[in-house]
Amino acid sequence: MSLDMFRLDNRVALVTGASKGLGLDMAKALAEVGADVIVTSRGLGDAQKAARDIVTSTGRRALGLACDVTNRSQVEQTVADALAHFGQVDILVNNAGINIRKPITELSDEEWRQVMDTNLSGPFYLCRALAKNFMERRYGRVINIGSILSTVSIAGRTPYASSKGGLLLFTKTLALEWAPYGVTVNIICPGPFQTAMNESLLKDPEAYKAFIAKIPLGRWGRPGELNGAVVFLASDASSFVTGAMLAVDGGWTAQ
Ligand code: NDP
């Protein structure tokens, strides 16, 4: 078997929320196997810095753009800029996400909306803005970043789990809708990784240990442990995979 099926030469990937954390790792991984990348986050400086890092470490082309995924017109402008710069987008990684952990009685309308808008409306705006590009070219790879909380839950996570559970069915529905166009739509559901999003858990030794107790492999995810999954789903190696959920969670959701 040729490992070339994992290569992404001549492909262009757009990764949202790629200024740091899992998004930056995945954008770098896609570039390492040959893709040119557009990295976005709300802060232009952070996105541009991430793009420079990727150019330096991989030698691929990378463009950093400011895009708040909750803002439909910014998303549409970002897609227009990406297409103007690279001429095509082959791979979309809907990674930008936030979490607000509170009991429902303490959640404001604004907090609920912020999480739903970022984690669920954002992927909707991106996919819709790229629909013409994917459908006309009869090619595309959409990879949504869900969570273990797409399928199971923890108290105090109503907005996060609702948004990530919604993203799972968004993924399956769009996979069916776009299958006739040769566009695949899949979701990666990570377990806990040590990123800024989990700062409060990482600072709390009890919470950290309680998480480990739920992970059959007995540890948190390490940097780079999503890279194989994202490269697989972005590449021709996954040509017959659509509407699928790939758990990368140390076994959490097997229980
Ligand atoms: P980080 O907090 O480390 O990074 C989040 C990224 O998203 C940043 O680049 C941030 O940049 C960007 N972002 C946040 N809000 C927006 C927005 N409205 N528009 C555009 N970009 C935004 O998070 P992680 O790397 O940990 O998480 C990445 C994804 O993985 C998320 O979807 C998360 O839910 C998911 N996930 C993470 C897990 C973990 O344990 N870390 C576990 C399961 C899933 P900026 O602030 O500059 O906009």
| Active-site annotation holds for 160 | yes
Ligand 1: residue whose CA is nearest its atom 31: 97
Closest by CA to 222, choosing from 199, 245, 248, is: 248
Low-confidence ranges of the chain (pLDDT < 50): none
> To test ligand 1's pocket by mutation, which of 28, 41, 125 has the most ligand atoms within 8 angstroms of CB?
41
**pLDDT given at position 189:** 98
**pLDDT given at position 1:** 76
Q: Which atom of ligand 1 approaches the CA of 43 most closely?
A: 47
- The Å distance, Cα 136 to ligand 1 centre, comes to 30
Q: Determine the angle formed by the axes of helices 158-178 and 122-137, rounding to 10 degrees.
A: 10
| Residue-range definition of the domain harbouring residue 172 | 3-254
Cα-based angle 9, 11, 16 (whole degrees, multiple of 5): 130
Indicate which residue of 125, 139, 160, 208 is catalytic: 160
User: Whole-model pTM?
Assistant: 0.98
**pLDDT given at position 95:** 98
Q: Long-range contacts: 243-246, Cβ < 8 Å, 24+?
A: 243/171, 243/172, 243/175, 243/176, 243/179, 243/185, 243/186, 244/175, 244/186, 244/187, 245/146, 245/150, 245/151, 245/168, 245/171, 245/186, 245/187, 245/188, 245/189, 246/186, 246/187, 246/188, 246/189
Q: What is the CATH number of the domain that holds 33?
A: 3.40.50.720
Ligand 1, pocket residues at CB < 6 Å:
16-23, 41-43, 46, 67-70, 95-98, 118, 145, 147, 190, 192-193, 195-198
Count of structural domains, the chain: 1
- Surface-to-core class of residue 172, CB atoms within 10 Å of its CB (0-12 exposed, 13-18 middle, 19+ buried): middle
Residue with tokens 């969670």: 249
DSSP state of 90: -
Q: Which atom of ligand 1 approaches the CA of 99 most closely?
A: 34
Q: Which atom of ligand 1 approaches the CA of 149 most closely?
A: 43
Question: From CA 50, how far away is CA 230, in angstroms rounded?
Answer: 18
- The Å distance, Cα 22 to ligand 1 centre, comes to 7
